A and B are shown apart, each in its own frame.
Chain A
Amino acid sequence: MRVPFQWLCELAGLSAPVDEVARRLTNAGFEVAAVHHAGEHWERVVVGQVVRIDPHPNADRLNLPTVTTGEAELQVVCGAWNFEMGDKIAFAHSGARLWNAYATEPRLEELKPTKIRGVLSRGMLCSPRELGLGDDHQGILILDPSAPVGRPLIEVLGDPVLEFELKANRPDALSVLGVAREAAALFGTEVHSPIPDPRPSAGALGMTVDLRIHDPALCARYSAAFVTGVSVTESPSWLRTRLEQAGMRPINTIVDATNYVMLELGQPLHAFDWDTIRGGAIGVRPARPGERLTTLDGQDRALTADTLCIVDAEGPVALAGVMGGQTTEVTSATTTVLLESATFDPVSIRRAAQRLTLRSEASRRFEKGLPPELTELALRRCVQLIESIGAGRGEFLSADAWPAPSAPQPVTLAFDRIERLTGLAYDRAEVRRALAALAFTLDDSGGELRVTPPFWRRDVTTPADVVEEVARLLGYDRIPNTLPMGRVTGVMPGEVDPRDDDLRDVMAGLGFCECVTYALTNETRMARLIPPDLLDADPEAPLGGAAAWDELRRSAMNEAGRALAERLLPLHRAPLRLRNHLSSDESTLRLTGLSTMLETLRANRRHADRDLMLFDYQPIFLRREDDLPDEPILLTAVLGARLSSGRWDETRTVDLHVVRGIVDELLTRAGVDPLAMGCQNVRHPTFAPGQAAGVTRADRLLAAYGQIAPQVAAAFDLDEPAWALLVDVEAVRAFDTDTAQFQPWSDYPAARRDLAVVVDADTPQADVLDTIHRAGRPLLASVRLFDEYRGEQIPPNKRSLAYTLSYAAPNRTLTDKEADRSHNKVTRALQHRLGAELRGPSGHGDTQ
């Protein structure tokens, strides 16, 4: 809300500098977002007068006013039409700094002489928005005829305007008087209320209106006042200037007066042309089925039963608290006006305004809940204002319906409650003074504080509210700094798992950079993970329906692939969609982080050709029937094609074994026993055939990794092979007790034996290793694969695996004979169980 400083000072009886007022109000909770020093940028803006208006030779929508500044006559090109010859306007010379009226972020720009459609413009006629005087940019600002031509505009219009950040709890703060009360309490001054005393006038004009409230829950009070002899003309300049400063557009005397009072007191008013009201009656009720109303903006609206209406004897004439109707609008032909001042139900008004997308200055105030006491006061002030500007004569209150008056309830609290909550022992006298300054009535004769708020402070209902009033008025800066003492807490529900930190650290240690990605994506983006020829490209269901997935699971996946799809890449699940979204790219909660990570990989590929290693450690969202979705955390990592390795510029190409090395280290470090991990081929359409694998433990898939299928990589616009690693963090957690049992080793020299085994090409290495481990017990201390060979020296369909084995005993140096005996057991087992042949000289190593 914009509050002109002069206006505020008048009502608050203030004479403090604007920055001091802004600072103290902000500290007390009336946050001043900005002080607009209207005029601080107006060095080259002066009062000008239009002396001629020519048509633009090349553009019908532009005209060419000539303006005198007293010293010179200057022709400009102008797109506005709301001025006439002789009007005084704000004229900007070139070099003036004006607000760009079209920029989304406010910014000042220097005006330069420009040719517009072939005609040179030697300055500009300014709109209020361009001068920083509000949002209005529908026409240029017309100044009061008394403004002296040639004088700097700042002498005519310069007045700071305070812009307040609105808070939802204080309807009284949406008025100049409300801010003034607050300022007066802070500065110890006297409020100068603009509300005139009542005068006995009902019936003086000899007119009556029959008021009827159908449901007091929807309209607590409806007050009305007649004004006759109405002259609907332009308001005086002081009034128009104030409205403009406050960001409202002047319209005519009657509308301006109602708006002025709304700004001043916070009570929205509406003016009906009385002669258009049928049957001399006004009622407040919800709309009936089939009723329609053409509102002031010219829209014909069908009304629903939850829309509160103002009706005359025949039907709706206004949407209560939201917008008036066209047929009852005040026009230049109007002679008699009925002013409406009412208290509507905040929820009803808020819902109607939202439903009709008609949120106005009026509805914003009703939504916060206005006090019924205000209706009558606002009418008095409005009638007085209309009379003072010669726009009519009226009654202060002609009719009033207030079915169930109620006063604010007192709040009772123990005095020490204030100290108990704030931690500061206030003096009783200063508490009394503070509450009195805010117009609270206080009775502490019984020891307890019995505090009754003024009618405009119905937000104060609990002891905590009273404590806040005292603390903020006396200043939060007096509250001391202490640390909370107290009892030790127990374990809290939902504690963050410290192992999350460990996993992130391990990934960083392995060379990956952590990403924090958006949880929002859409189905088309996720569907890129499936080659397009496998999913029917249905724009309605980019991820395919249940039938498509049944088929995919049957034909394009093996069992491990299905486990991957189930746990780590659940693209077959129906995702959670948003009802409202910022863009269709972000309409859905993700089922996987992989598509987003491949997009991130692609974005980074533009500037890097190696070491693209990224991971993301965030939840995915899985729908559950009648419950919150499941939000399991998945670790999703992606790698580009090449990693730095060796000398400065050397790289190695990522392959399945490179990723497996990472997976092994990661899972082992996460606590999974490396000897208990199994590994399987994974067939899944997201991954390249034969280039993907899953690591299991006790039949549970812990992680899957592999090369992204070339078609999928292409769909993400990747120009080189990409690799991915998905880890089921929850599953890994189930096994993190595997390790961390101390295993002693032998300090005696180990006997080393090398071994090259020729086995069938499709015999898994894991079987060979397992056989070695079993047969080598108990002296086998370690086994390390050092070569794999296929080629001419061995038969086709065979491969040779070469290992270094170490044998050791815990309590003595092993003799060669003992080592040989163990080693022979190993070779025999390989021969018998796997049909392996031993290649080359059976290894004899050194004793180390």
Chain B
Amino acid sequence: MNTRIDELLAAAQAELAQANSDGELEAWRVAHLGRRSSLTLALRSIGQLPPEQRRAMGQAANAARRTLEADLDARRQTLRRRTAHAHVDVTMPGYPVRLGRLHPLTLTLRDIRRVFAPLGFRAVSGPEVEWDRYNFELLNIPAHHPARDMWDTFHVQQDARPGDLLLRTHTSPVQARVMEQVPPPVRVIVPGKVYRYENRDASHEAEFMQVEGLAVDERITMADLRGTLTYFVRAMFGPDRDLRIRASYFPFTEPSAEAEMSCHACNGSGCPVCGGSGWIEILGAGMVHPKVLADVGYDPDTYQGFAFGMGVERIAMLKYGVTDIRSFYRNDLRFLRQFG
């Protein structure tokens, strides 16, 4: 009977010498040491032997088992050493794994929202097809006001006419929509697509993204506006940025301001990015016009606040060094894969 064990042992050892990978070692283990291996079966069948043989047989089988387990360990060590010394070119590229990418405008919008969220601004959205009333009239831009020239507008065909339909030219109508629905205090930012009836070139789009900001309460001041915008440019473009504001005109703010930040590319010393001036125009802003407040039912003697609006593409262009605004809408994978 020991001969039979010896044969099993020899066969198993011969086979083990041929095993060259972890997988083959495991297969060998199942075959020669597993539940259904000959050795295991031999051990199980000990009970059928005459009692005087059982002990010797059991010892032999267990010895063989220990030998094979030791051999397996040894073989495993050998293989490990061999693998360690084998030449693997670690500079080979990995097999392709492809994550997708988010659009740079989505990334920029998220960055902007992340800056304003801790200041209590909640992100809201509104319709892209809008009534003239919200896009213009409630923003203190009555029909035939020359300020309408500031926004070249797409108009929508209508059968019936409860009001004039247009593609919103800015995200500002959402100011009126929010204030109509909730009492002060209000603090929102409004990301979204806007439309201008304007020929495209490297710096103009007919469809683009804006973010509107609005904060109204009893004592929100122009200093708060300036501070908020300073906080924003520093969070977006680095702690060294400065912000300055100068007088401007928008029908829905009074006083109105244009905000510029010190150029992030040259730190204000003048370079091609800022056209040599050291400053970059970044957004329009102002204190909400008392007429706008009154028209949505806020008492302009009690409540006041600020509003601002910025072009998301402009922020993204500055951030990523994109020079043609149309790139954002061509959706070329060679472009999209560079971000996020």
| In the complex, per-residue mask of B199-219: 1 if CB is within 8 Å of any chain A CB, else 0 | 111000011010000010111
Within 8 A of B (CB), among A20-64: 26-29, 31
Asked, given contacts A492-B178, A494-B124, whether A423 binds B221 with beta carbons under 8 Å apart, the answer is: yes
Within 8 A of B (CB), among A438-459: none
| In the complex, per-residue mask of A629-640: 1 if CB is within 8 Å of any chain B CB, else 0 | 101000000000
A604 within 8 A of B: yes
A169 within 8 A of B: yes
B156/A492 in contact, CB under 8 A? no
Asked, given contacts A483-B231, A495-B122, A514-B336, whether A577 binds B157 with beta carbons under 8 Å apart, the answer is: yes
Point out the residues of chain B lying under 8 angstroms from A80, CB to CB. Answer: none
| In the complex, per-residue mask of B318-333: 1 if CB is within 8 Å of any chain A CB, else 0 | 0000000000111111
Interface stretch among B1-9, B57-65, B95-103? B95-103
> Who on chain A is nearest to B221 by CB?
A423
Point out the residues of chain B lying under 8 angstroms from A517, CB to CB. Answer: 329, 331
Given contacts A169-B251, A484-B215, 11 further A-B contacts (CB under 8 A): A423-B222, A468-B255, A486-B219, A487-B185, A492-B178, A496-B191, A513-B100, A514-B101, A519-B128, A603-B332, A647-B95
A578 within 8 A of B: yes
Asked, given contacts A483-B227, A483-B231, whether A168 binds B222 with beta carbons under 8 Å apart, the answer is: no
Point out the residues of chain B lying under 8 angstroms from A619, CB to CB. Answer: 128
Point out the residues of chain A lying under 8 angstroms from B314, CB to CB. Answer: none
Interface stretch among A264-272, A293-301, A345-353, A382-390? A345-353
A204 within 8 A of B: no
Point out the residues of chain A lying under 8 angstroms from B248, CB to CB. Answer: 29, 31, 167
Point out the residues of chain A lying under 8 angstroms from B224, CB to CB. Answer: 423, 482-485
B255/A464 in contact, CB under 8 A? yes
> Who on chain B is nearest to A346 by CB?
B146
A464/B245 in contact, CB under 8 A? no
Selected from B144, B206, B221, B230, the residue in CB contact (under 8 A) with A422 is B221
Point out the residues of chain A lying under 8 angstroms from B332, CB to CB. Answer: 603-604, 607
* Total contacts A-B at CB 8 Å: 281
B218/A476 in contact, CB under 8 A? no
Per the bound structure, the CA–CA distance linking A476 and B258 in Å amounts to: 10
Which residues in B have some Cβ–Cβ distance to A below 8 Å?
A: 93, 95-96, 98-103, 105-106, 110, 113, 119-120, 122-131, 144-147, 149-150, 154-157, 160, 162, 165, 167, 174, 177-178, 181-182, 185-188, 191, 193, 195, 197-201, 206-207, 209, 215, 217-224, 226-228, 230-231, 243-249, 251, 254-258, 287, 289-291, 304, 328-334, 336-337, 340
Asked, given contacts A491-B122, A631-B127, whether A168 binds B249 with beta carbons under 8 Å apart, the answer is: yes
Task: Return B109 CB to nearest CB of chain A, in Å.
Answer: 9
Which of A464, A467, A480 neighbours the largest number of chain B CB atoms within 10 Å of its CB?
A464
A512 within 8 A of B: yes
19 A-B Cβ contacts within 8 A? A168-B150, A351-B144, A423-B221, A462-B254, A464-B254, A464-B290, A476-B257, A481-B226, A483-B231, A489-B185, A492-B122, A516-B209, A580-B197, A582-B197, A589-B167, A607-B333, A613-B100, A628-B130, A628-B131
Within 8 A of B (CB), among A754-809: none
Closest 10 CB pairs of A and B: A423-B223, A29-B247, A423-B221, A468-B255, A472-B247, A508-B100, A644-B96, A481-B227, A168-B147, A515-B331
Task: Return B120 CB to nearest CB of chain A, in Å.
Answer: 6
Which of A105, A421, A520 neighbours the largest number of chain B CB atoms within 10 Å of its CB?
A421
Per the bound structure, the CA–CA distance linking A431 and B99 in Å amounts to: 61
Selected from B123, B145, B227, B231, the residue in CB contact (under 8 A) with A168 is B145
A702 within 8 A of B: no
Asked, given contacts A350-B144, A486-B185, A514-B100, whether A26 binds B120 with beta carbons under 8 Å apart, the answer is: no
Point out the residues of chain B lying under 8 angstroms from A580, CB to CB. Answer: 154-155, 197
Per the bound structure, the CA–CA distance linking A576 and B195 in Å amounts to: 15
B96/A612 in contact, CB under 8 A? no
Per the bound structure, the CA–CA distance linking A660 and B25 in Å amounts to: 37
Point out the residues of chain A lying under 8 angstroms from B186, CB to CB. Answer: 489, 492
A621 within 8 A of B: yes
Per the bound structure, the CA–CA distance linking A144 and B191 in Å amounts to: 57
Task: Return A49 CB to nearest CB of chain B, in Å.
Answer: 39
Which residues in A have some Cβ–Cβ distance to B below 8 Å?
A: 26-29, 31, 105, 167-170, 346-347, 350-351, 367-368, 420-424, 462-465, 467-468, 471-472, 476-477, 479-496, 501, 504-505, 507-520, 576-582, 586, 589, 600, 603-604, 607-608, 611-615, 618-619, 621, 625-629, 631, 643-648
Point out the residues of chain A lying under 8 angstroms from B200, CB to CB. Answer: 582
Selected from A489, A607, A625, A648, the residue in CB contact (under 8 A) with B122 is A489
Asked, given contacts A421-B287, A484-B217, A496-B191, whether A465 binds B254 with beta carbons under 8 Å apart, the answer is: yes
Point out the residues of chain B lying under 8 angstroms from A495, CB to CB. Answer: 122-125
> Who on chain A is nearest to B162 by CB?
A626
A468/B329 in contact, CB under 8 A? no
Point out the residues of chain B lying under 8 angstroms from A511, CB to CB. Answer: 98-100
B247/A27 in contact, CB under 8 A? yes
B246/A422 in contact, CB under 8 A? no
Per the bound structure, the CA–CA distance linking A542 and B328 in Å amounts to: 29
Which of A516, A615, A628 neighbours the largest number of chain B CB atoms within 10 Å of its CB?
A516
Point out the residues of chain A lying under 8 angstroms from B255, CB to CB. Answer: 421-422, 464, 467-468, 471-472
Point out the residues of chain B lying under 8 angstroms from A576, CB to CB. Answer: 129, 156-157, 165
> Who on chain B is nearest to A465 by CB?
B254
A628/B127 in contact, CB under 8 A? yes
A479/B249 in contact, CB under 8 A? no
B191/A508 in contact, CB under 8 A? no
Per the bound structure, the CA–CA distance linking A581 and B99 in Å amounts to: 38
A29/B333 in contact, CB under 8 A? no
Per the bound structure, the CA–CA distance linking A732 and B224 in Å amounts to: 41
B103/A514 in contact, CB under 8 A? yes
Asked, given contacts A508-B102, A516-B103, A607-B334, whether A488 binds B120 with beta carbons under 8 Å apart, the answer is: yes
Selected from B131, B144, B191, B220, the residue in CB contact (under 8 A) with A486 is B220
